[in-house]
Amino acid sequence: MNVLFLTLGKVNSIHEPGIYNDLLCEFAENGHKVYIVSPVEKRENKKTELCVEDGVTILHQEIDNIQKVNNIIKKGIATVTVGSKFKSGIKKYFSNVKFDLVLYATPPITFLGVVRYLKKRNNAFCYLMLKDIFPQNSVDLGMMSKSGVGGQIYNYFRRKEIKLYEISDEIGCMSPKNVEYVLNHNKIDSKKVELSPNSIRPKDLSIDENMRLKMRQKYGIPTDKTVFVYGGNLGKPQGVDFIIDCLKKQYSDEVFFFIVGNGTEYNKLNEFFKKQSPKNAMLMEKLPREEYDSLVSACDVGLIFLDKRFTIPNYPSRLLAYLQAKLPVLACTDVNSDIGQTITENGFGWWCESKNADDFVKTVATATKTDLKQYGKIGYDYLVDNFNTAKQYETIMSAVGGK
């Protein structure tokens, strides 16, 4: 089959590990011809470019700036025009390619026009990997309104969302609660909605004690404390104000918090560190992937944060990075996400609601009294059995073959 993947994520190399690249490698190694359309934002000062890597064709399509943009109007305009820019690129560079399967992901609704075009042009099977439920996620965080002028914007995107669900032949959701939410809030045939969780090609990224000691010493992380690490985006969805509240209430000499990442809310967190200089916490900007992986593995517990206001069931993919490092996980989220349920019911971590910092402190205390290595081993085994791209590949191929 000729497989086309549409993404707003940046794909520099097919061999960079991640939930999408790993899946596409699975397709390529099973004999499929893989094509990718990935954005190049104007801030990068690069033009549209076509390249081929190990048989995989990647179109780097120039678009307006869309990631980490604080101005909601500019971000909205850029978002609206992505689909048409992708469509133009496909017409120019892939005019002679008949696509059998089209995969598309976060955030999906901007791809309605190009998906419709490919479905009509090639009679392609269209598979939506649903990662963000937009625009409701923006409403939850107060970035969009359902009334007034904002309501018109919301309704525009909501109509796009509904149409994309309609045109998709299959919708793969990250978790059981995602499946439930999509079916309860849309008129969709339940037969076209299935569980297709975030998945990777699992690698044991744990490190031995000597390496753990070296990594901690290199970055000035205490070697005699239980280290809780958060790595990833620091934006509105993570509820940075609550993270700050949690850090303010941590007085235990037994724990240390290491936060590494960037995003639209990074400066807010950075200001807190500059003013308060917490003795049991450290903040660092984004690191190169290999260095980050080693540093995470040198810690003891992985942290996940989600804003308490969410009504949609988010399921952060950073969970997979922690499990690969054989770290147990503490998730502090809204009540609608079922990631905490996955973690606690399967015995590799803890959950608390992201609205009371005292509850977080108590949960941290509970974690420090646990056999962390055993929890980490259980989590890694769960990763191999449930979040494996080989399994996700079979799920998608089964959907394609069943239509």
Residue-by-residue pLDDT tens, the chain, 403 positions: 999 999 988 888 888 889 999 999 999 999 999 999 999 887 777 889 999 999 999 999 888 767 666 666 677 677 778 888 999 999 999 999 999 999 998 665 778 899 999 999 999 999 999 998 998 999 999 888 898 888 888 898 899 899 999 999 999 999 999 999 999 999 999 999 999 999 999 999 999 999 999 999 999 999 999 999 999 899 999 999 999 999 999 888 899 999 999 888 999 999 999 999 999 999 998 788 888 888 999 999 999 999 999 999 999 999 999 999 999 999 999 999 999 999 999 999 999 999 999 999 999 999 999 999 999 999 999 999 999 999 999 999 999 986 5
Shared-domain flag, residues 173 and 227:
no
Contact status, residue 398 vs residue 262, Cβ threshold 8 Å: no
Contact status, residue 227 vs residue 252, Cβ threshold 8 Å: no
Amino acid residing at 136: Q
Shared-domain flag, residues 105 and 235:
no
User: How many Cβ atoms sit within 10 Å of the Cβ of residue 156?
Assistant: 14
Look at the chain and report how many structural domains it folds into: 2
Long-range contacts for 203-207 (Cβ within 8 Å, ≥24 apart)? 203/17, 203/324, 204/324, 204/326, 204/380, 205/293, 205/296, 205/297, 205/324, 205/325, 205/326, 206/297, 206/325, 206/326, 206/376, 206/380, 207/294, 207/297, 207/298
Shared-domain flag, residues 315 and 196:
no
Q: Which residues pair with 193 in a beta bridge?
A: 171
Q: Which residues pair with 57 in a beta bridge?
A: 35, 52
Whole-angstrom distance, CA of residue 269 vs CA of residue 262: 10
Whole-angstrom distance, CA of residue 294 vs CA of residue 288: 10
Shared-domain flag, residues 190 and 229:
no
CATH code of 25's domain: 3.40.50.2000
Shared-domain flag, residues 196 and 219:
no
Shared-domain flag, residues 130 and 62:
yes
Shared-domain flag, residues 57 and 95:
yes
Shared-domain flag, residues 234 and 358:
yes
Shared-domain flag, residues 237 and 262:
yes
Q: 72 lies in which domain range? A: 2-201+388-401
Pairing of strands 255-262, 226-233: parallel
Sign (positive/negative) of CA torsion 143, 263, 379, 20?
A: positive
Whole-angstrom distance, CA of residue 184 vs CA of residue 192: 14
Shared-domain flag, residues 36 and 169:
yes
Shared-domain flag, residues 274 and 159:
no
Shared-domain flag, residues 250 and 174:
no
pTM higher than the cut 0.85: yes
- In degrees, rounded to 5, the angle at the alpha carbon of residue 103 between the alpha carbons of residues 98 and 106 is 145
